[in-house]
Amino acid sequence: MVLSILLSGSINIKAQEKPNIVFFLVDDLGWSDLGCFGSDYYMTPNIDKLADQGMKFTSAYMMPTCSPSRASLMTGEYAPRTGIFSVDGYANTPSKMKKLKGIPSKKYLVPEDITIAEVLKNAGYKTGSFGKWHLGNNEETYPTNQGFDVNVGGCEAGSPKSYFSPFVGIKNIDVKEKGKYITEVLTDSVCAFIDGNKNKPFFIYFPFYQVHVPVHAKKEWVEKYKGKEGFYEQNNPNYGAMVSYMDYSVGRVLNKLEELNLSKNTIVVLTSDNGGQIMVTSNAPLKGQKGNLYEGGIRVPLIVRWPGKAKQGSSSDVPVTVVDYFPTLAAMAGAAIPENKIIDGESIVPLLDGGKCLNRDAIFWHLTSYNGNGHSNSYLWQAPGGVIRKGNWKLIENFEDHSIELYNLKKDIGETQNLSNKNSKKAKELLTDLKNWQKEMEAPIPTEPNPGFKPGAIDWLDKWNTRIIEQAEKQTLVK
């Protein structure tokens, strides 16, 4: 796309008027895991209030797993450009289950990658990252070398082994007291950062480790769910406690902004990195979960509060996706993007201003390997494939056999009726668009057969699905 088109929503902002930006990224929060997105079980009063004060996006998307989402969020580039298609652990599917040899994914961003934090820092922002990074493996690739002035808790770790200190495996976080809850420590750091930078524009990136498994909750928060009736698979008090504590942390940050009289000049964004895990929650009415290319894996909640811009209590069903955040935040801040920087997304500022559409016709996904390794959560099973959403239509191409699935999401949000045969004309149109995009992106597509593949081996998942639920129960910890 042409950069001038992408920045059509940009705004000329004087330095002293630059808005602060707080970006909450919750880990594994499902589309249905918030009260304002339809949950009758999870108690999220602070986030529900945030939705009432801003715009809710009901067709917001990410990649199906966390590292690819984070890479695209930071760079504004689709996975074929970042080279990060999956989390390496999920790509270790047993050989007998793989019909194709998958194409390996990069694990980390490199210093040459231009991030949104660098763009905002160059525009005069003080920048801080607080929580899960999962895009680097050493100091050179940690947040402080990707545009952030401050890094608390960001490293290569995808999740803590324990949410209670000492935080084994989590670097760049200094807590000597035992039994401290990691989300509390991160929230304390965010509030201190706001206190220290209240007189200058700041960009806070708060990527929670929560609500990713293991399910480790504070006892007093579990008590709030005692006797509460569950719905579908949303019936886990311990997971509910994690969701509610995350909401409480969001509330603490919002209260800090209010306390310092910064709310009116602070943009707040809250979303998730991928769909929820159905071993602990339900994404109903969506099909699938984290790791899948179905809606349950890629559709996520999104709320944007921008006082004076985003209409309070408003909602948009226009599809927006992860590569849009880079140009959107740059536009909001009036920040210049380097001329040589590739941007695949489009600013959603026009939607916040009441617009009903964006310039593009479609959004895309690309997965080059298998999600689901059988050693963590086998529900994550997903073969390599590509996806296009165009208007209300969504097409999935399975790279194993090039079979396709076509869904009308407006009429069938649960993806229950494959219309590829019934509406072959629409299927051909979308498949052509998907192929053209893959060609434009030079997207690698796995084609080499795997000699170790054993037909019928996927049946093995059934036993593991039972076992993983038992494992999840064992991972639950309450203190």
* Per-domain boundaries in the chain: 16-384+446-478
> How large is the average pLDDT for residues 209-215?
95
Name beta bridge partners: 338. Answer: none
Contact 305, 290 (CB under 8 A): no
Percentage of the residues of the chain whose pLDDT score is greater than 90: 81
pLDDT for 98: 87
Per residue in 233-280, pLDDT (tens digit) is 899 999 999 999 999 999 999 999 999 999 999 999 999 999 999 889
Binned at pLDDT 50, 70 and 90, residue 89 comes out as low
Residue 286 corresponds to which tokens in the numbers above? 């969506």
Per residue in 3-29, pLDDT (tens digit) is 433 444 445 555 558 999 999 999 999
Per residue in 369-398, pLDDT (tens digit) is 988 754 444 455 789 999 999 999 999 999
Per residue in 456-475, pLDDT (tens digit) is 766 655 565 555 556 556 66
Would the CA dihedral through 320, 321, 325, 331 be positive or negative? Answer: negative
Instruction: Give yes or no for residue 230 having a pLDDT over 60.
Output: yes
What amino acid occupies position 476?
Answer: T
What amino acid occupies position 23?
Answer: F
Instruction: Give yes or no for residue 2 having a pLDDT over 50.
Output: no
Q: How far apart are CA 295 and CA 285, in angstroms?
A: 9
Instruction: Give yes or no for residue 215 having a pLDDT over 90.
Output: yes
Helices (H), 93-178: 116-122
Per residue in 290-346, pLDDT (tens digit) is 999 999 999 999 999 999 999 999 999 999 999 999 999 999 999 999 999 999 999
Instruction: Give yes or no for residue 451 having a pLDDT over 80.
Output: yes
Contact 457, 94 (CB under 8 A): yes
Helices (H), 310-423: 325-333, 349-352
Global pTM?
A: 0.94
pLDDT for 95: 80
Instruction: Give yes or no for residue 138 having a pLDDT over 50.
Output: yes
Architecture of the domain spanning 16-384+446-478: 3-Layer(aba) Sandwich (3.40)
Q: How far apart are CA 19 and CA 42, in angstroms?
A: 31
Residue 362 corresponds to which tokens in the numbers above? 């479609």
Helix or strand (DSSP H, E) at 296 = helix 295-298
